[in-house]
A and B are shown apart, each in its own frame.
Chain A
Amino acid sequence: MTTISSELDGRKSWVREQIFLGMSFRDYMRSLKTPFNFIALVILCVGLPVTVLRFTQGLETVTNLNDNYPWGLWIGFDVLCGVALAAGGYCLASAVHIFGLKQYRPIVRPAVLTGFLGYFFVVVGLLFDLGRPWRLPYPIVLSFGVTSVMFLVGWHVFLYLTVQFLEFCPAIFEWLRLNKFLRWATRITIGATVFGVILSTLHQSALGAMFLLAPSKLHPLWYSSFIPVFFFVSSMAAGLSMVIFESTLSHRIFSRQISHEDHHKFDGLVVGLGKAAAVVLFTYFCLKWIGVAHGNHWDLVGTPYGRLFLLEMLGFVMLPMLIYIWGVRENSARIVRIAAVWSILGIIFNRLNVSIFAFNWQLADRYVPHWMEITVTITIITVGLLTFRWIVNRMPVLYVHPEYPVTE
């Protein structure tokens, strides 16, 4: 015991400063007693046993998946929505590093972190869904199905996860004060960003392209040869909206990390992002109708599925677009934030329509997720939020590290 504690003494200051946020272990544990943590604990207490059940008893015990519905909530929400909503990373990184919109630099790091964690937990969600998750590396190392769009998705998500980790490395190295690595990591920023944008373009659209193989199952109002473009363009709207939403929450929850002046300028950035999101949503809205015209499916707009389509198009694409425009004209960050939340819901609605609601539209039986599927999804989101908070509380994400003012 004595040797261990004396060893600990040597490292104590670092552990205390960097891991326990400058508190003693006891104080740190006491500081964790918050309502949010209590809710998180309750969720984990349900989620972890369900996880054990999933990996010991198989998919049938915890899901309502069946032979007609091989993909459910985990693919429809965790993967499709997860990837779309993690698009903020490439949107912001390209805006700042490639298009030179330097004023957005303060929110690049949180966006890249959101992107990285988003993708990371997409892969975690995928592990739940795969029949043999331990074979996840097979398409990378063993057997190459080059005719498969999913092969592309697999490779790109793998590469992009690596790229996003590299993009976030400067924050980690600043935290650990590894100056040598920091210089190396900042030098590759441009290369990583360019590579990241290419990979994002391809796999965001490839997720849509996966459904090109289901022309007889996906309702014609959603099935289109343009579906890769739909997924790519809407991912930009999703990413921008998510950046607005995430940074707003961060500024509230971690407000003591941010200087007063930054809070003031931040609203201007939100309105600027809102302007971009409005343009993207407008483009997306037009594209979707071009898709309907291209397939000449106007007759289907009057059917029950047509009403679902109209609800999505008018209620969850046009409406958030109009709110964005309103917010930009009023120069109101508040209104833009409402539009962001509404857009996020809209993207989720779209991805669930493609993968679940409008899928197998000609079959009588419908898929409804099992409560344990929902539990797993909520658990993954919770662990994601906890990880985000853990990192933001320790690494220079929302603020500039006092010792490293230059971070190009």
Chain B
Amino acid sequence: MDRKKFFKTVGIAGTSLVAMSSTADARTRIVSPDWMGMLTDLSLCIGCRKCEWACNEANKLPNKPIQSFDDPSVFQEERRTHAEQFTVVNRFEVDDRPEPVFVKKQCMHCAEPACASACLVRAFSKTAEGPVLYNKDVCIGCRYCMIACPFLVPTYEYADAFSPEVKKCTMCFERFTQQGEVPACAGICPREAITFGKRSDLLKLAREKIRSHPDRYVDHIYGEHEVGGTNWLYISPVPFEELGFRTDLGETPYPEMTRPFLSAVPLVLSIWPMLLMGSYMFSKKREGEAPSTDLHERVDS
């Protein structure tokens, strides 16, 4: 490759990367009115864990008889999602409250998902319907999505040697788009603690509940603004930080954390060659004036 060709190559690479990062710059901060979502009312949950059973059924995960989910011993330690458990209910004892509070945990289906912006093969997508879905056919298994997720949701099939996948809640996407049914957890909940609906309607419902029962709820809809908004929303009788929720995540969507860096890439690509070639010319010229101090006293060709 001669110099001219080299510059051409750098030019092509540079232009394509500029184009690439400008698409990343176009801020797609759309909170669609059509997005479906879920609202979990923590004041209603009694910790029966039937949602866990229904989730296992719906996703064809290894399951146990529904009666065995009454066993309260699982609450002794806080659990997280796993490859064979897309949702878990944890119990929290809160000061000055006779009853414990139960918290169902699953994918939050972020408006601008960290997992999707982390993925180098676009295995994650935010659907027009709201849920964040994973495509196992392109995933290479780097697990950067799991590093990026602030809610510690995605899990991995570490035991599988040949076709391991990232596993997480899909908000029963196929169930509600194809069969017209509500997500399994919402369908089975005996207390109607989980409501499925349009995110915009759920926000109205949550606000209405908080307004009419200020004694029963703290004035905070978790997921309305957190990390730029999530499609799964929570309302709670006690402050969220007492229930294992991260309330320090901020309202900036995660894709914006890496955006400044990605925008700087075309700058480096276009300015570095200039500086480096300039320096090369300069040193070449200087070398012509002074004799070489080369160790082997080689002559430059």
Contacts and interface: CB of A to CB of B under 8 A. Distances in A.
Contact of B158 (A63, A106, A197): A63
B95 to A, nearest CB: 21
Nearest to A153: B120
B164 A59 contact: yes
B161 A408 contact: no
Given A71-B143, A201-B272, A145 B120 contact: yes
Contacts of A66: 158
Looking at A94, A103, A149, A153, which has the most chain B CB atoms within 10 Å of its CB? A149
B293 A225 contact: no
B118 A150 contact: yes
Interface string B13-45: 000000011011000000000000000000000
B298 interface: yes
A202 B82 contact: no
A142 B138 contact: yes
Given A100-B283, A191-B1, A148 B298 contact: no
B262 A60 contact: no
Contacts of B262: 147, 149, 152
A213 B212 CA distance: 38
Interface string A385-408: 000000000000000100001111
Nearest to B297: A405
Tell me whether chain A's interface is mostly helix, strand or loop, or mixed: helix
6 contacts: A67-B81, A105-B298, A133-B141, A151-B121, A188-B1, A198-B276
B17 to A, nearest CB: 9
Interface stretch (B52-60, B66-74, B169-177, B247-255): B247-255
Given A67-B80, A212-B258, 15 more contacts: A60-B159, A66-B158, A68-B152, A103-B294, A133-B141, A138-B121, A139-B121, A145-B122, A195-B9, A198-B10, A212-B261, A225-B260, A400-B296, A406-B300, A407-B298
A209 B259 CA distance: 10
B128 interface: no
Looking at A135, A187, A206, A400, which has the most chain B CB atoms within 10 Å of its CB? A135
A329 interface: no
A228 interface: yes
A213 B254 contact: yes
A194 B114 contact: no
Interface string A319-349: 0000000000000000000000000000000
A240 B266 CA distance: 27
Contact of A132 (B9, B24, B163, B268): B163
B139 A131 contact: yes
Given A58-B161, A67-B152, A145-B120, A150 B142 contact: yes
Interface string A129-166: 11111011011001111111111111000000000000
Nearest to B140: A135
B301 A188 contact: no
How many of chain B's residues touch chain A, expressed as a range?
35 or more
A195 B283 contact: no
A17 interface: no
B296 A55 contact: no
A98 interface: yes
Nearest to A269: B295
Interface string B192-235: 00000000000000000000000000000000000000000000
A70 interface: yes
A241 B248 CA distance: 39
Contacts of B164: 58-59, 131-132
Given A102-B293, A187-B2, A406 B147 contact: no
B258 A209 contact: yes
Interface stretch (B100-108, B179-187, B284-292): B284-292
A194 B286 contact: no
A27 interface: no
A22 to B, nearest CB: 24
Nearest 8 pairs between A and B by C-beta? A131-B141, A100-B283, A58-B161, A191-B6, A70-B143, A60-B158, A70-B146, A151-B120
A171 interface: no
B144 interface: yes
Contacts of A58: 158-162, 164
A186 B261 CA distance: 34
B156 interface: yes
A191 B6 CA distance: 6
Nearest to B269: A198
Contact of A105 (B20, B21, B114, B295): B295
A65 interface: yes
B272 to A, nearest CB: 5
Given A213-B254, A406-B299, A98 B276 contact: yes
A131 B159 CA distance: 10
A128 to B, nearest CB: 11
Given A132-B163, A145-B120, A210 B144 contact: yes
A67 B156 CA distance: 6
Given A67-B81, A146-B23, A103 B295 contact: yes
Contacts of B296: 105-106, 400, 405
Contacts of B154: 67
A408 B158 contact: no
A97 B164 CA distance: 46
A56 interface: yes
Contacts of B81: 67
